[in-house]
Chain A
């Protein structure tokens, strides 16, 4: 029964209708949780003893950094799905993940360096995690470029699927080589101070922010996927009735 539902979701009109029902909930959920999270982050949580007020950037930084990697995994999941089943819904979902992922990576880099300047005294250090995040941004940009390179939509979908999966295989390789490089050139790497020492309210706020970001990304990607699907299928009957 359940698998039946998922199989039916691969049909464009079914997906379009179902996602149309889910989308408002995602948007309101992310807005409400985001408001709560930000309010708590700015006014409720205490000031950090070592870092002062600036640590509050982390309530944005940590969710974006998580999403930057999670979205790639999700995109790879849809890529694999597309390569096996060749459905257009999986293709638009895969494509929709990439720009959101790139934005999250860029935001994580920017918020990270804004946090780094007062804390470490510099916007950028060649730390393994930072470098890796930068390379991840390059990978996202490369894939987005591939998506716009080729005229033929069907070929582009398959290519994008192949190259997304190639990236997935490469990412751990890049990560470990960057860690190796980091230990080779620098003795100690700076780490964020004490996850375990966080006050409970800080933890809760962080999780609310992460969840809000999660819903927000899902909403963004789904909205993008819906528009792409509509544009692709504009000649079919169901898309005509939606657009009319």
Chain B
């Protein structure tokens, strides 16, 4: 029976912070069955599921998965962004798990899960139960072999519970496996599933006991299913991130304007402080534009990952096997295009108010765009830090500003006569940060997700 074990856990210690929840957890889940996880609040059910869901590189050596990358985590947060359309989010989520794109399958999935009427709606318009149904739909079509499910029956009505039952039964009868954490014993709530149960693990004591399955004459374990999955290299992961950023930007196009509007306002404040002397303003233009752009980026970008973190999308990306480094790279490129380009373009007419000569306008715009690329990259790093210390925007700015000094210096130098050298330096800074920042930021994000 252990020959086809999809998940094997061998004396895994479990702790939350410094508190030890269990000394050694041991169990195995063969293909074609599920394990039920029970225990009171705080006994570590979710912690255990999270520990099982880590990407291969972070996985505890006591945990062995048949195909290390092949899990689906069905958690408390949906991983959906409220501003996206239902069908767009479904296609995006399925693409994240490597399922090939198929519009007809998406439509029939939505029909099966009772969401066909909401095809044109946005996630934010769905009720909590409907969001859970959509999560079920993603899980059913994800093609992943090992499902880690946290409290599946929450917020589901009777029809949806029946749906869950049928989805899970299909999955295990095809040879898949699942670990289900629940307060309501699944084998009692859904008797039809009891035959697939391979055991019940009760957490809450230092050495959790594995209890035998309620039904003993189970069908023999099955070979794991072979799902049609697209293996994705870094390039495809990057494309997925960019596609998602594009959809998010299209869902709320007005958000693209705010950094530029802020930039305009700050820039127009300066003459009130400096006086309207045209000569002084022309001389100050470089500094004014760069400081204002820096503030605009910093204010916007310190919340770069917040929505994705709170809705669980970052977590989903991690368990789905999307490299966080590519995720950050995509975010920086998108930020450079979606924040940087409007900022740079809107600065050009604005510079006329400061008496910047015409032939310098494209150079100002171009250098601002290059500079904003590095500023966005730098802010990404601090935004990742901000996920762990949400009350600390001021401190993050304190940390970020010394880092931004070189960009500011070379940026303003462009307007002060010397053009080629600073422009080259700005481009190399942008390239350097595009290559190095994602690696460091991915590390910080992984810490935030622990």
Contacts and interface: CB of A to CB of B under 8 A. Distances in A.
25 contacts: A135-B402, A138-B401, A139-B402, A142-B395, A142-B398, A142-B399, A143-B399, A145-B398, A145-B399, A146-B389, A149-B392, A149-B395, A150-B388, A152-B388, A155-B447, A155-B450, A159-B385, A159-B447, A162-B444, A166-B403, A170-B402, A174-B403, A174-B405, A178-B409, A181-B409
Nearest to A83: B443
Contacts, number: 66
A25 interface: no
B389 A150 contact: yes
B410 interface: yes
Contact of A158 (B17, B399, B418, B447): B447
Interface string A154-176: 01001100110010001001100
A136 to B, nearest CB: 8
Interface string B424-450: 000000000000000010011001001
B405 A178 contact: yes
Contacts of B402: 135, 138-139, 142, 170, 174
A151 B16 CA distance: 13
Contacts of B443: 162
A115 to B, nearest CB: 24
A189 interface: no
A146 B409 contact: no
A180 interface: yes
Chain A interface category by residue count: 20 to 34
A145 B385 CA distance: 12
A64 B233 CA distance: 51
Contacts of A159: 385, 388, 444, 447
Given A146-B385, A177-B406, A163 B399 contact: yes
Greatest chain A CB density within 10 A among B388, B399, B410, B440 is at B399
Interface in B4-38: 17
A141 B413 contact: no
Nearest to B401: A138
A141 B398 contact: yes
B413 A184 contact: yes
B440 A166 contact: yes
Greatest chain B CB density within 10 A among A170, A177, A178 is at A177
A174 B406 contact: yes
A47 to B, nearest CB: 39
Contacts of B395: 142, 145-146, 149
Contacts of A180: 409-410, 413
Interface residues of B, number: 24
B397 to A, nearest CB: 9
A143 to B, nearest CB: 7
B381 interface: yes
Nearest to B429: A173
A162 B406 contact: no
B382 to A, nearest CB: 9
A138 B381 CA distance: 17
B211 interface: no
Nearest to A176: B406
Given A142-B399, A181-B413, A149 B389 contact: yes
Given A143-B399, A180-B413, 15 more contacts: A135-B402, A141-B398, A142-B395, A146-B385, A146-B399, A150-B389, A152-B388, A155-B447, A155-B450, A159-B388, A159-B444, A159-B447, A163-B399, A177-B406, A181-B413
A135 B398 CA distance: 11
B416 interface: yes
Interface of B: 17, 381, 385, 388-389, 392, 395, 398-399, 401-403, 405-406, 409-410, 413, 416, 418, 440, 443-444, 447, 450
A160 to B, nearest CB: 10
Contacts of A173: 406
B377 to A, nearest CB: 12
B381 A166 contact: yes
A163 B399 CA distance: 9
6 A-B pairs with least C-beta separation:
A142-B399, A177-B406, A149-B389, A145-B395, A181-B409, A177-B409
Nearest to A149: B389
A178 B392 CA distance: 28
A162 B444 CA distance: 8
Contacts of A149: 388-389, 392, 395
Given A149-B389, A155-B388, A162 B403 contact: no
A138 B406 CA distance: 15
Nearest to A158: B447
Nearest to A184: B413
A167 to B, nearest CB: 8
Contacts of B440: 162, 166
Nearest to A134: B402
A143 B396 CA distance: 10
A177 B426 CA distance: 11
Contacts of A155: 388, 447, 450
B434 to A, nearest CB: 15
A173 B405 CA distance: 9
A138 B398 contact: yes
Contacts of A143: 399
Contacts of B398: 138, 141-142, 145
A159 B448 CA distance: 10
A184 B418 contact: yes
Interface string A120-157: 00000000000000010011011101100110100100
Interface string A213-241: 00000000000000000000000000000
A170 B403 contact: yes
A152 B17 contact: yes
A170 B432 CA distance: 12
Nearest to B446: A158
A138 B405 CA distance: 12
A45 to B, nearest CB: 36
Contacts of A139: 399, 402
